[in-house]
Amino acid sequence: GEKVGSLQESGEIVVETTNFYAESGGQVGDEGVISGENFNARVIDTKLAPNGQHLHFVEVEGEVKLGDEVRLNLDVNRRLLIMRNHSVTHLLNAVLEEVLETNIKQEGSYVGPTHLRFDINYNGRISNKKLRKIEERVNELISVSLPQKTQILSLEEAKATGAKSLFDEKYEDTVRVVSFGDFSSEFCGGTHVNNSNEIGVFAIVSERAVAAGVRRIEAKTSLGAYELLKEKNDLLHIAQKLIGASSQGDVVANIKQRLSEKEELRKKIRQLEDIIAAFEANKLQDEFKEINGISYLFKHFKATSRQEIGRIIDELKGTYDASVIVLSGEENGNLPLVVYVSKGAHAKGFKAGDIVREVASLLGGSGGGRFDFASGAGRNKDKLGEVARLLEQLLNE
């Protein structure tokens, strides 16, 4: 922005020295308060200017002037949450390579106070079994209290240590290397906890593809992980109450039992639907008419789905060698259509796809399909009375 001598609203403040971290390397910028004798400024973000200066994005109460003496009060609790999330990305990076048994290339990351994202090059979904192993291994490393060590080394010295670096990143002649015990070592300019045990707990939220060959893991630590686990426990408790399980440990067994019972009910419903379809088909046997050696039938069923009229057609298919059957129903404001043309009728030049398109068009809809079976839908019930006459015309052509 433009350099000004004073600031009374929103803008950016640059100070001689700062303890605020500027957004870099995937880690978000710090927040807090900058205050002086005549103002209080809430820092809502901190970023790096092209010349390397820290830009504190502020909302000012009062007036801050060029040359004012200021106090910088970092939001320490927020910084601590960010540090935990950043440190765990280093452990996660090393664990991913260990569990997936391949060289992992970091494709991107986000480290904030509430959660973290970590993108890697990997083809195919990471299985739930491997995700659980990754989560367990990271928590194991947290619990064994790995000390964090920071070194300022020449670029060549840092490379010689075997520390991980971003392949396409351009580094200065002197770099910062952050290590956790002997397990993890990376080039990094971010903020970190002093010991892995300060991370508390690590929980994976999700794993998904974000681009071809790139997978994203989202996770939480400390308070965020606790809240996530509590939310899952609350959902489990609700599930326990809904299905009447005596304990949370019985939830899965009860759900499996309910699913089995549901499947049995579905089978019985399908059997009943088949019986009803056979009954309706039997009633229609005497309603067939004949034109040019082709037995044909049109019938409309109220409050009947596409699936149900399809079952009725299945029951009617073998009634005549040369037949054309058109059935319609009513479902969600639409008129589902199913058309069947037997091999004998097809030999005379008739196709189910052609017939359903004509009928659906009459009813203000569309349709299509194969020569023997086709489906569609219309909306205009007022035209149902004209379908039988249209069918006769089509069969007379």
pLDDT single digits (tens) 337-385: 999 999 999 999 999 999 999 999 999 999 999 999 999 999 999 999 9
Strand order of the β-sheet with 54-62 is 10-13, 54-62, 39-48, 32-36, 71-74
How confident is the model over 191-234, as pLDDT tens digits? 999 999 999 999 999 999 999 999 999 999 998 888 888 888 88
Task: Collapse the DSSP code of 8 into the 3-class scheme (helix H, G, I; strand E, B; otherwise coil) and give the result.
Answer: coil
User: What pLDDT, on the 0 to 100 scale, is given for residue 236?
Assistant: 79
Q: Distance between CA atoms of 80 and 192, rounded to whole angstroms? A: 8
For the ranges 61-70, 169-178, 180-189, 234-243, which has the lowest average pLDDT?
234-243
Q: Distance between CA atoms of 185 and 175, rounded to whole angstroms? A: 13
Residue 336 — very low, low, confident or very high, per pLDDT cuts 50/70/90? very high
User: What pLDDT, on the 0 to 100 scale, is given for residue 231?
Assistant: 85
Q: Distance between CA atoms of 18 and 79, rounded to whole angstroms? A: 14
pTM beyond 0.85: the answer is no
- Averaged pLDDT of the chain: 92
Q: Is the pLDDT of residue 277 over 90?
A: no
Q: Are 185 and 161 in contact (CB under 8 A)?
A: yes
User: What pLDDT, on the 0 to 100 scale, is given for residue 1?
Assistant: 67
Residue 167 — very low, low, confident or very high, per pLDDT cuts 50/70/90? low
Pull the structure tokens for residue 56: 């504190």
User: What pLDDT, on the 0 to 100 scale, is given for residue 226?
Assistant: 86
Most confident of 1-10, 111-120, 284-293: 111-120
How confident is the model over 89-103, as pLDDT tens digits? 999 999 999 999 888
Of the candidates 323, 370, 369, the one whose C-alpha atom is nearest the C-alpha of residue 343 is 323
Of the candidates 335, 316, 351, the one whose C-alpha atom is nearest the C-alpha of residue 384 is 335
Task: Collapse the DSSP code of 90 into the 3-class scheme (helix H, G, I; strand E, B; otherwise coil) and give the result.
Answer: helix
Q: DSSP alpha helices (H): ranges in the chain?
A: 76-100, 128-143, 155-160, 222-243, 251-284, 306-316, 343-347, 352-362, 387-396
* Cα dist from 345 to 292, 302, 348, 391, whole Å: 10, 28, 5, 13
Residue 131 — very low, low, confident or very high, per pLDDT cuts 50/70/90? very high
Domains of the chain: 6-74 (2.40.30.130), 79-232 (3.30.980.10), 284-396 (3.10.310.40)
Residue 397 — very low, low, confident or very high, per pLDDT cuts 50/70/90? confident
User: What pLDDT, on the 0 to 100 scale, is given for residue 179?
Assistant: 97
- Those residues whose C-beta lies under 8 Å from the C-beta of residue 238, and which sit 6 or more positions away, are none
The mean per-residue pLDDT over the stretch 41-58 comes to: 95
* Enclosing H/E stretch for 323: strand 323-328
Buried b (16+ CB within 10 A) or exposed e, 191-227: bbbeebebbbbbbbeebeeeeeebbbbebbbbbbbee
Share of residues in the chain with pLDDT > 70 (%)? 99
Q: Distance between CA atoms of 110 and 183, rounded to whole angstroms? A: 22
